[in-house]
Amino acid sequence: MAELERKIAELENAVPTTAPAAEAESDRAPNGTKSTNPTADDDTFWALNGLIDRAADEGGVVYTGHTTPPGGESPVSWQMGLPSAAINDLNFAEAAPALAALGHPVRLELLQAIYEGTTTVAQLGEDERFGTTGQIYHHIHALAGAGWLENSRRGHWRVPGQKIIPLLTLILIGTH
């Protein structure tokens, strides 16, 4: 846990604090196009500026990431996005199973431990935070049922590659 807190502190110190939305739009011309005046916000809002350049007035939402998981040999890259019109057509309730599976602190701690390399129930059972073997299996099956975990080989669990960036994105949202 101390390692995670240290990494978060490093990230917070390395990335400039984002400005409020009103300030983020202050470098926009009245017609909504980006001003040609370079500002400090160009570095802070590089992803947002790229989305605006690509999606223009239609708008959209994107999340993306590129990271090498602890103990991983290669980076995981992921991007997901939808135009605003497609988002407006979504039924938000359809997200409930995936989000509900993350709604218990022990499940988040299990996900973190598995993400960091503790992959078997026996290993997880050595940590008092996770409870009994039965409780661990209960949480693991709930997470696997929602797609947050998969059985990589007999008795070993992992966060699927296509779920690493979405998981880290949700953790970032929940902590900042």
Tens-digit pLDDT profile for residues 102-111: 999 999 999 9
User: What integer is the mean pLDDT of 15-44?
Assistant: 49
Tens-digit pLDDT profile for residues 110-127: 999 999 999 999 999 999
User: What integer is the mean pLDDT of 27-45?
Assistant: 56
Cβ neighbours of 116 (radius 10 Å): 14
- Would you state the structure tokens that stand for residue 8, as one six-digit string? 């978060």
What 3-state DSSP class applies to 113? helix
- Would you state the structure tokens that stand for residue 54, as one six-digit string? 């690509």
Confidence at residue 41, expressed as pLDDT on a 0 to 100 scale: 62
Average pLDDT over all residues of the chain: 84
List, in order of start, the domains of the chain with CATH numbers: 2-90 (no CATH), 94-175 (1.10.10.10)
Per-residue pLDDT band for 5 (boundaries 50, 70, 90) equals low
Confidence at residue 19, expressed as pLDDT on a 0 to 100 scale: 39
For residues 16 and 64, which has the higher predicted lDDT (pLDDT)? 64
Confidence at residue 43, expressed as pLDDT on a 0 to 100 scale: 84
For residues 11 and 124, which has the higher predicted lDDT (pLDDT)? 124
Amino acid at 161: G
Per-residue pLDDT band for 20 (boundaries 50, 70, 90) equals very low
Report CA Rg, the chain: 19
Asked if residue 28 has pLDDT above 70, the reply is no
